[in-house]
């Protein structure tokens, strides 16, 4: 399978590279950087949504699956991008966002037009509930972007469901005609253009529990309640994935990776078992969501290195002896920057600790995903940035709701700003830092989102030709990963789980290689004497009898 040993690089188009100086990234900008991506050792590019969209959720609100967002380019640019990847021996996968569309999609415009419109049933409409004569949403479901998951539509006196923003109405997967339209317009259309697969957005949410019952009250101080139990892994979800695979995906030599979300391992394995005919692999969120309450990511608690190691154990044990496959990642467009979250982003340690994380990631089993800017060690935005610099609908809505609820509690708001700074999706969305010129070389004009203040110290131009840079270290780690089967396929044995300074493990595949890894996650020196017969493969230190702060080593045993 070509995708098992592949390294995948995610591009989030708004912030990758602006070729026409309008302050927004675009497809020609991506094309201009294909060699940069290829030289890192990448095999596949995953492009986040570039479809036409009002951009309320940065393209995850699609108004036309068959058109490109004009600021990013057009279908000809996409053809050039596909060819540009293929001619360099890389593949291209797109984002498949089919749990919902934008409210600007023609399907929804028709659906909302009247009760008897042929597309009325393509979305989820319900009558209001009346409590003491007051009109209320049909149930108490909370949207992922704050507030009720239902929006009232005056014209037809009904509510429609939107698990995300108001402008992202959920499609009704119960309707077969609607499903077929999705398969043709969102999936087949792009396979026919030559793409190589999809990352499947919110892939566990299509099948809703048709009773639409109130969700249990878990946050008594909230009007609306988390409703995952009623839309995650619903009764027909596997039937829908199997149908989509059978009708479309199976006709192409494609890879698919799903964003499924939380639930039991047994439930998750059903999506990715090789014989199931659903998808090839999925993201597990244990590591990136460490510290967050699974029902509300902004309710955040600290964690230690043992907690961190345990997430690796859970991810590594996921496929067990099944025929399923898995992924390795610690950043994407919905997560903060890994150096800030899991290592040390101070000027003294950020490069070294970025290398430490590269060593860890490149030694874990599964298909590896890197996110734009991760290869040069981009960090979270500065702590001092005010709320006005945050552009993500998730951050803004949550902040507004908090301020409305606690207008006089500035300590609460201050506390929230700390959490926001640590985990907001905005951290991943600042423009890529290409060089030390104005706007980090991302654009010739002021970009749609502020450039991280540290672009003069952290940028690609200063790293590409420097053999000691993080970019070249990642490149070395990705190449090393392909030399040893145990790094991609092997079982992991974590040693000294309770040690809060070092992360130490062995990777093995029966009858093949054995690899020993030790990573010092602390700011202390740690005594260490390797077995004299081991061969040092990679280190970010000087190979003395001590591991210096954030030093790691990978040995073949």
- Catalog residues that contact ligand NOJ under the rule CB under 6 A: 57, 60, 97, 164, 201-202, 259, 333-334
- What lies within 8 Å, CB to CB, of 375 at 6+ separation is 9, 40, 470, 471, 474
Q: Smallest gap, in angstroms, from Cβ of residue 259 to ligand NOJ?
A: 6
Q: How many CB atoms lie within 10 A of CB 466?
A: 11
Is 170 one of the annotated active-site residues of the chain?
A: no
DSSP 3-state of 481: helix
CB nearer to ligand NOJ: give 164 or 484. Answer: 164
Token pair of 15 as six digits: 């912030």
Q: Smallest gap, in angstroms, from Cβ of residue 404 to ligand NOJ?
A: 22
Contact 162, 169 (CB under 8 A): yes
Q: Quote the CA–CA distance of 340 and 161 in Å, as a whole number.
A: 36
CB nearer to ligand NOJ: give 62 or 492. Answer: 62
Is 154 one of the annotated active-site residues of the chain?
A: no
CB nearer to ligand NOJ: give 202 or 327. Answer: 202
Q: Smallest gap, in angstroms, from Cβ of residue 234 to ligand NOJ?
A: 17
Q: Smallest gap, in angstroms, from Cβ of residue 333 to ligand NOJ?
A: 6
CB nearer to ligand NOJ: give 60 or 503. Answer: 60
Token pair of 264 as six digits: 């039991």
Q: Quote the CA–CA distance of 307 and 301 in Å, as a whole number.
A: 12
CB nearer to ligand NOJ: give 15 or 202. Answer: 202
- What lies within 8 Å, CB to CB, of 340 at 6+ separation is 379, 380, 422, 427
Q: Which of 43, 61, 259, 551 is catalytic?
A: 259
Q: How many CB atoms lie within 10 A of CB 210?
A: 12
Contact 193, 82 (CB under 8 A): yes
- Strand 44-47 relative to strand 7-11, pairing: parallel
- Strand 491-495 relative to strand 7-11, pairing: unpaired
DSSP 3-state of 466: coil
Q: Smallest gap, in angstroms, from Cβ of residue 201 to ligand NOJ?
A: 5
CA atoms within 13 A on the CB side of 326: 24
Smallest CA-to-CA distance from 427 within 352, 358, 513, 330 is with 330
Beta bridge partners of 171: 123
Q: Smallest gap, in angstroms, from Cβ of residue 107 to ligand NOJ?
A: 16
Of all residues in the shown chain, the one whose CB is closest to ligand NOJ is: 60
Q: Smallest gap, in angstroms, from Cβ of residue 48 to ligand NOJ?
A: 8
CB nearer to ligand NOJ: give 215 or 288. Answer: 288
CB nearer to ligand NOJ: give 95 or 504. Answer: 95
- The DSSP annotation for 9-51 comes to EEE-GGGT--SSSSSS--HHHHHHTHHHHHHHT--EEEEPP-E
C-alpha distance across the termini of the chain, in Å: 28
In the block, tokens 């499609």 appear at: 171
Alpha helices in 374-409, H assignment, sequence order: 393-405
Beta bridge partners of 328: 368
Q: Smallest gap, in angstroms, from Cβ of residue 334 to ligand NOJ?
A: 5
Q: Smallest gap, in angstroms, from Cβ of residue 147 to ligand NOJ?
A: 15
CB nearer to ligand NOJ: give 200 or 538. Answer: 200
- ∠ Cα 484 92 311 (to 5°): 50
Rounded to whole angstroms, what are the CA distances from 554 to 30, 359, 476, 530? 33, 7, 12, 11
DSSP 3-state of 516: strand
CB nearer to ligand NOJ: give 46 or 191. Answer: 46
- What lies within 8 Å, CB to CB, of 264 at 6+ separation is none
CB nearer to ligand NOJ: give 338 or 454. Answer: 338
Beta bridge partners of 136: 129
Contact 278, 245 (CB under 8 A): yes
Q: Smallest gap, in angstroms, from Cβ of residue 424 to ligand NOJ?
A: 12
Q: Which of 26, 151, 201, 243 is catalytic?
A: 201
Q: What's 188's DSSP letter? A: I
User: Which residues are tagged catalytic?
Assistant: 201, 259
């Amino acid at each position: 399978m070509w995708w098992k040993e592949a390294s995948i690089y995610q591009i989030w188009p708004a912030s990758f590279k602006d070729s026409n100086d309008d302050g927004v990234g675009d497809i020609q900008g991506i094309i201009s950087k294909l060699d940069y991506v290829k030289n890192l050792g990448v095999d596949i590019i995953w492009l986040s949504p570039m479809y036409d969209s009002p951009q309320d959720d940065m393209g995850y609100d699609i108004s036309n699956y068959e058109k490109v967002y004009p600021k990013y380019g057009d279908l000809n640019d996409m053809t050039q991008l596909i060819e540009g990847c293929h001619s360099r021996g890389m593949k291209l996968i797109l984002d498949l966002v089919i749990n919902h569309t934008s409210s600007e999609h023609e399907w929804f415009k028709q659906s909302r037009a009247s009760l008897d419109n042929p597309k009325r049933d393509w979305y989820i409409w319900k009558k209001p509930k009346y409590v003491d004569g007051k009109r209320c949403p049909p149930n108490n479901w909370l949207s992922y972007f704050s507030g009720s998951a239902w929006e009232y539509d005056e014209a037809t006196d009904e509510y429609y469901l939107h698990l995300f923003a108001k402008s992202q109405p959920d499609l009704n997967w119960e309707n077969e005609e609607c499903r077929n339209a999705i398969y043709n317009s969102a999936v087949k259309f792009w396979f026919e253009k030559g793409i190589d697969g999809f990352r499947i957005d919110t892939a566990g949410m299509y099948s809703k529990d048709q009773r639409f019952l109130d969700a249990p009250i878990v946050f008594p101080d909230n009007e609306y309640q988390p409703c995952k139990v009623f839309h995650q892994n619903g009764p027909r979800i596997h039937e829908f994935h199997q149908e989509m695979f059978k009708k479309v995906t199976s006709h192409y030599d494609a890879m698919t990776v799903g964003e499924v979300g939380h639930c039991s391992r047994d439930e998750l394995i059903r999506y990715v078992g090789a014989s199931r005919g659903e998808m090839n692999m999925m993201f597990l969120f244990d590591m990136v969501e460490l510290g967050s309450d699974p029902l509300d990511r902004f309710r955040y608690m600290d964690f230690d290195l043992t907690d961190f190691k345990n997430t690796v154990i859970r991810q590594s044990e996921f496929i067990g002896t099944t025929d399923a496959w898995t992924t390795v990642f610690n950043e994407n467009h919905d997560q903060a920057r890994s150096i800030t979250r899991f290592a040390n982003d101070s000027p003294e340690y950020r490069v070294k600790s970025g290398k430490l994380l590269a060593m860890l990631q490149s030694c874990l089993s599964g298909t590896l995903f890197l996110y734009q800017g991760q290869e040069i060690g981009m960090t979270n935005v500065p702590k001092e940035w005010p709320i006005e610099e945050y552009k993500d609908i998730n951050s803004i809505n949550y902040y507004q709701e908090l301020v409305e609820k606690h207008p006089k509690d500035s300590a609460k708001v201050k506390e929230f700003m700390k959490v926001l700074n640590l985990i907001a999706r905005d951290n991943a969305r600042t423009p890529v830092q290409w060089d030390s010129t104005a706007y980090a070389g991302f654009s010739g004009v002021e970009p749609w989102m502020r450039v991280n203040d540290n672009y003069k110290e952290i940028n690609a131009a200063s790293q590409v030709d420097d053999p000691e840079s993080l970019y070249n270290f990642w490149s070395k780690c990705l190449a090393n990963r392909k030399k040893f089967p145990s790094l991609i396929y092997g079982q992991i044995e974590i040693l000294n789980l309770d040690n809060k300074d070092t992360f130490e493990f062995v990777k093995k595949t029966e009858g093949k290689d054995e690899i020993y890894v030790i990573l010092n996650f602390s700011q202390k020196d740690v005594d260490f004497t390797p077995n004299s017969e081991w061969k040092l493969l990679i280190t970010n230190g000087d190979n003395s009898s001590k591991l210096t702060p954030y030093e790691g080593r990978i040995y073949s045993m």
